[in-house]
Amino acid sequence: MNLERSADGEYRFLRFDRFMAEALYGVGGFFQSGGQAGGSDGDFLTSPETGALFGRLWGRALDRFWEELGRPDPFVVIEAGAGAGTLARSVLRSQPECGSALALHLVEASQSLAALAADRLAPYPNVTVHQSIRDLSVTTAGSGRFLCHVLCSNELFDNLPCGVARRTPFASDVQPPLPAGRFPDVAQGAAVLGGRAWEELALLPANHRSRAAFGDLGPWQPMWVPLRSGHWAASLEALTPSDSTQPVPLPVGIDEWLAASSAHLDVHRMLHVDYGGTLRQLQARNGEWMRTYRGHARSGAPWDEPGCSDITVDVPTDLVSVLSERHGLGPLACCDQAEWLAELNIDGLVADAKRASEATAAAGGLEHLRARSVLTEAGQLTSRTGLGAFQVLRGSADTA
């Protein structure tokens, strides 16, 4: 594989976003080798896997967009990062009001997950599955972009390749010995190249002079290199305190995804749910905004066994809003999931479920179990120490 060279030509390395892309989506990567969400068989649990309630409420959100846009028919909705189609199937089973007009396009980069989604949703003729947004644009006649009334995702952004950046703790072009660990600390002798104001994390393979495949290059050592060119330094400066040298996410993959969406789609509304916070909030977490998981348990550093674990990154919501506006998709307003579900009247569904649970308590049976399930799911989805703290990003590209 092609590695980037250091300025002096001494080292060949991968910036962390490229490393993450290979570890998750490359040959032998986590999602290419069977990693997925879902219950006891998956590696992590998302809101749709808690049960049917989240899909029902997502359907309500789509109904509101449909009404707001004048009830278009077809009503074109694109779910990006759709995985095995769990959320889409749950939405369709809930029979939203917009269902008769709904044309649902699922986009999933993993070939195995896309195939699974296509199989699970085969009974629904209004659903098609694609592996990239670019696949959608080729179905559009002429040179226009593909019409998209709502572009949505649930826990997509946290898995898009992301870099790691920080302000240079000291200005030096001397490279001390390379450290080990999650985020190399200057006290441990972190490498600083070129004395730049901002730098980013890179991985140096043991076999860094080779052009071998990704899986044959390790073991990997972390190092710091000058921040890439472009708008990133100015964007980070504007959203972080000037006296902090703690690392922050560099959402390169989200930026590229937004650029592709703007180039290929005529987007009217945006809805994205994920865990995250502002850059200042994430910077205060001292690197704990990046995590790895395997079989529902925390795993080690991302470079320890690349391809064996999911790598997730808390989404910098304020920076993503800036990037969305930069690409002509409009700014994104943010609230937490508990607040958003309250807007969709989850409390009314909980009240109905409580009444049904009490009415069927003596007899038990399926109806009682369904009511109890709604109550359990609602608690999980709105918990401010869990899924309820997830961030909901919404916007209108029509006002961009």
In tens, the pLDDT along 216-259 reads 787 888 988 889 988 999 999 999 988 888 899 999 999 999 99
Give me the helices (H) in the chain, please: 16-25, 53-68, 86-93, 111-120, 133-137, 232-239, 252-264, 279-283, 317-326, 337-343, 346-359, 366-382
Assess whether pLDDT exceeds 90 at residue 338. yes
223 and 138 within one domain: no
- Residues whose CB falls within 8 Å of the CB of residue 104, separated by 6 or more in sequence, listed in order: 77, 78, 79, 88, 91, 92, 124, 126, 127, 128
Tokens for 21, please give them.
């892309």
Q: Are 150 and 64 contained in the same domain?
A: yes
Same domain, 49 and 136: yes
pLDDT at 62 > cutoff 70: yes
Tell me the C-alpha distance between 289 and 363, whole Å: 47
Same-domain check for residues 17 and 124? no
For the ranges 99-108, 168-177, 300-309, the lowest mean pLDDT is seen at: 168-177
Average pLDDT score over residue span 12-32: 88
**Same domain, residue pair 150 and 77:** yes
Q: Among 160, 185, 147, 143, which residue's Cα sits nearest to residue 21? A: 160
Same domain, 46 and 131: yes
**Tally of domains within the chain:** 3
Examine the domain organization and report whether 295 and 149 are in the same domain. Answer: yes
CATH code of 35's domain: 3.40.50.150
Task: Mark residue 140 as left, alpha or beta (left: phi above 0; alpha: psi -120 to 50; beta: remaining).
Answer: beta
Peptide linkage before 74 cis (omega within 30 of 0): yes
Q: What is the pLDDT of residues 181-204, one digit of tens each?
A: 345 443 333 333 344 478 999 998
Instruction: Count each helix (H run) and each strand (E run) in the chain, helices first.
Output: 12, 18
Do 104 and 11 belong together in one domain? no
Same structural domain, 242 and 258: no
In this prediction the pTM is 0.87
**Mean pLDDT value across residues 288-311:** 87
Question: What pLDDT is stored for residue 175 in this prediction?
Answer: 40
Q: Which two tokens stand for residue 400?
A: 């961009």
Average pLDDT taken over every residue of the chain: 86
Domain boundary among 247, 273, 290: 247
Are 20 and 47 contained in the same domain?
A: no
Regarding whether 156 and 178 lie in a shared domain, the answer is no
Domain that holds residue 285: 31-160+253-300+308-339+388-399
Q: For residue 313, what pLDDT is reported?
A: 96
Same domain? For 50 and 131 the reply is yes
Domain stop point among 202, 226, 247: 247
